[in-house]
C-alpha cells in the first residue's frame, strides 16, 4: 500500500505559480557545526513581509502535506515558528520547499502487507534489528545523554527532567533498557530535527520507506519497453 498526495502537490505548485520552478534536492540547507538555535536564526534575515496572509496560507498547506511527507516535517516546523511576523527569508525558504516538492511530486509513505493480511508500516526498530526478547536498546547519538541515563549521581543540568531521568535509570539498572550509541551517519531521526545533505536526506527517506512510486513505475515501464518484443510476449504467456 502506498499513500501519497501527488495531486495536492501539483495544485499547491500551481496556486503559488511554481509549476515551472527549478527543482532542488533538499528542503533546507545543512548547517554543519551549528546548533538548533543558530539554524533557526539563520533564516531570520530580511525585511518583514507585507502580505502575511499568503505566507500563513502556504505554511498551513505545507503542514497538511506532512501527513504523507514526513521528509519536510523539520523545515515546516521551522517555518511555522514565524506565522505572525514572517520575513522575506522565511518566504524564500517556503518557496524552496515547493522546489523540493517539484523534484519528487509522487513521494509518499509505503506500507508492507504481511502474510497475516495486516498492514505494517516500515519500522525503524526493525531496521536496527531490535530483539524484544532481550533488553530493549535505547538508541542515542549523544554520549552525554547515555552517561546521564546510566549514572546514578544527580546532575545539575537534569533538574528539569528529574522524574523521567530516575525512571530511565531504574529501567537501565534492572536490565529492561540498554543504552546504545548510534553513529551520527546512521541516526535516521536527524531528518526530523535538522537540515541534511542531499545524500543523507535521500538515504534516510529510503530507510523510512518514503519513495516516489510514480518515478519507480515510470522507470519500470521504460525498462519494460527496452525489452525485446519477443521476450515481452513470452513473459506474458
Q: Are 19 and 93 in contact (CB under 8 A)?
A: no
- pTM of the shown model: 0.68
Is 83 in the same domain as 167? no
The enclosing H or E element of 55 equals helix 52-65
Gap between the Cα atoms of 42 and 210, Å rounded: 28
Is 156 in the same domain as 73? no
Is 12 in the same domain as 97? yes
Residue 155 lies in a domain: yes
Rounded to 5°, the CA angle 216-220-224 comes to 170
Average pLDDT over residues 116-135: 53
Residue 41 lies in a domain: yes
Is 11 in the same domain as 104? yes
Least confident of 45-59, 82-96, 140-154: 140-154
Residue 216 lies in a domain: yes
Is 73 in the same domain as 160? no
Q: Of the ranges 114-128, 138-152, 157-171, which is most confident?
A: 138-152
Residue 46 lies in a domain: yes
Q: How many domains does the chain have?
A: 2
Is 19 in the same domain as 59? yes
Is 107 in the same domain as 201? yes
* 182-202 pLDDT, tens digit each: 787 888 888 998 889 899 999
* 3-51 pLDDT, tens digit each: 899 999 999 999 999 999 999 999 998 765 444 554 555 566 678 998 8
Residue 45 lies in a domain: yes
What are the E-state strand segments in the chain?
A: 2-4, 107-113, 119-121, 136-140, 177-181, 210-212
Residue 10 lies in a domain: yes
Q: Does residue 173 carry a pLDDT above 60?
A: yes
Gap between the Cα atoms of 208 and 217, Å rounded: 19
Percent of the chain with pLDDT over 90: 37
Is 171 in the same domain as 205? no
Residue 221 lies in a domain: yes
Going by C-alpha positions, the residue among 116, 135, 105 that lies closest to residue 213 is 105
Residue range of the domain that includes 140: 124-185
Predicted local confidence at residue 220, as pLDDT: 56
Is 14 in the same domain as 93? yes
Amino acid at each position: 500500500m502506498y499513500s501519497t498526495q501527488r495531486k495536492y502537490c501539483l495544485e499547491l505548485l500551481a496556486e503559488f505559480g511554481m509549476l515551472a520552478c527549478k527543482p532542488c534536492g533538499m528542503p533546507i540547507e545543512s548547517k554543519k557545526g551549528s546548533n538548533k538555535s543558530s539554524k533557526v536564526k539563520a533564516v531570520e534575515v530580511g525585511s518583514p513581509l507585507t502580505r502575511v496572509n499568503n505566507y500563513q496560507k502556504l505554511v498551513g498547506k505545507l503542514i497538511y502535506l506532512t501527513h504523507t511527507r514526513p521528509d519536510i516535517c523539520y523545515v515546516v516546523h521551522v517555518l511555522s515558528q514565524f506565522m505572525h511576523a514572517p520575513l522575506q527569508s522565511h518566504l524564500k525558504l517556503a518557496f524552496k520547499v515547493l522546489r523540493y516538492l517539484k523534484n519528487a511530486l509522487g513521494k509518499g509513505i509505503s506500507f508492507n502487507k504481511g502474510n497475516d493480511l495486516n498492514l505494517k508500516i516500515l519500522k525503524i526498530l526493525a531496521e536496527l534489528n531490535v530483539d524484544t526478547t532481550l533488553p530493549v536498546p535505547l538508541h542515542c547519538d549523544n554520549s552525554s545523554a547515555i552517561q546521564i541515563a546510566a549514572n546514578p549521581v544527580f546532575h545539575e543540568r537534569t533538574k528539569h527532567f528529574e522524574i523521567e531521568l530516575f525512571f530511565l535509570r531504574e529501567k537501565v539498572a534492572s536490565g529492561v533498557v540498554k543504552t546504545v550509541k548510534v553513529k551520527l551517519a546512521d541516526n535516521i531521526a536527524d531528518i526530523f530535527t535538522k537540515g541534511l545533505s542531499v545524500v543523507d536526506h535521500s538515504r534516510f527517506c529510503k530507510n523510512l520507506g518514503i519513495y516516489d512510486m510514480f518515478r519507480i513505475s515510470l522507470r519500470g515501464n521504460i525498462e519494460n519497453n527496452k525489452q525485446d518484443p519477443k521476450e515481452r510476449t513470452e513473459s506474458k504467456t
